[in-house]
Amino acid sequence: MQTVPGFTHFLAQADAVGHFILLLLLVMSVATWYLIVTKTLANRKMRRAAADFQAFFWNAGEMASVSDYIRKHGVNDPFTHLTHHGLRAVEQYLERSGSRLIESGSADEFLTRALRRAIDQDTARMEYGHTVLASVASSAPFVGLFGTVWGIYHALLAIGISGSGTLDKVAGPVGEALIMTALGLAVAIPAVLAYNAFSRFNRVMLAEVDGFAHDLFAFMSTGSRSQAPESAPRSGVLRAVSGVA
């Protein structure tokens, strides 16, 4: 009885190189779907936490309430992380000794550097896994194509040894070898779609964070809207968080 070509037959006929390529594609696929699931859940959680914090922030009466909110709920999104860095920068500025380079400059400059560092850290954190997705998206089709070429090479060798070049002898092995190309595309397509979706999410989120950073800096620089004028002039940053420090 003639064996029907298929994936099972292809696995049985594949050599060590073919098995290695299949294993490599499997690892790529598992890594891709792991990142898709984990980053999707993390992004949804981040978006909910960011919406809750922004709603609280703009309805808070003073920065002390915002500081209490962050201590209670933790830093779970770029907006709370940015605000936390701003508050910490003011505390460090008030406690500065003047002996370190990081403490140089005015209060506004100190706050600006802290907010910039926070945004850079959030950018790096949100891009976690993008290198893997981009690598899989770009290399998986070529890995599959290499498997196809290797399979066709061995199929032609076997046909040459047998001395039979009929269509049924050629089409079966060549068709089985094309499975590698299909697997490579099946691994690459989800990686491409996930990379594009996560990149767009990051661009939108970081644009919102950048706008919030400008608002936060302006608010902390001009002081609390409900803060009464003090007898001794102080920096706007210090007035904004006088209830925190």
Q: State the residue range of the domain holding 171.
A: 19-221+236-240
Would residue 35 count as lying in a domain?
A: yes
Measured CA distances, 135 to 18, 188, 203 (Å): 21, 9, 20
The pLDDT tens digits for 99-128 are: 666 666 677 777 888 899 999 999 999 999
| Position 41, amino acid | L
- The half-sphere exposure of 198 on its side-chain side, counting CA atoms within 13 A, is 27
Torsion sign (Cα): 66, 70, 73, 77: positive
Would residue 104 count as lying in a domain?
A: yes
> Over the Cα atoms of the chain, what is R_g?
29
**C-alpha closest to that of 194 among 34, 46, 73, 11:** 34
- The span from the CA of 228 to the CA of 205, in Å, is 35
What percentage of the chain exceeds 90 in pLDDT?
Answer: 40
- The span from the CA of 120 to the CA of 99, in Å, is 25
Would residue 6 count as lying in a domain?
A: no
Would residue 65 count as lying in a domain?
A: yes
Q: Is the pLDDT of residue 71 over 60?
A: yes
Q: What average pLDDT is seen over the chain?
A: 80
| Position 31, amino acid | A
- The span from the CA of 217 to the CA of 205, in Å, is 18
Instruction: Give the tokens for residue 209.
Output: 């964070």
The pLDDT tens digits for 146-174 are: 888 887 877 777 677 766 656 555 666 67
Would residue 178 count as lying in a domain?
A: yes
Would residue 5 count as lying in a domain?
A: no
The pLDDT tens digits for 217-245 are: 888 776 544 444 443 344 455 444 544 54
Question: Considering its fold, how many domains does the chain have in total?
Answer: 1
Would residue 111 count as lying in a domain?
A: yes
Would residue 4 count as lying in a domain?
A: no
Map 4-31 to HEC letters: CCCHHHHHHHCCHHHHHHHHHHHHHHHH
The residue to which tokens 């709370």 are assigned: 80
Measured CA distances, 161 to 3, 152, 154, 156, 158 (Å): 19, 14, 11, 9, 5
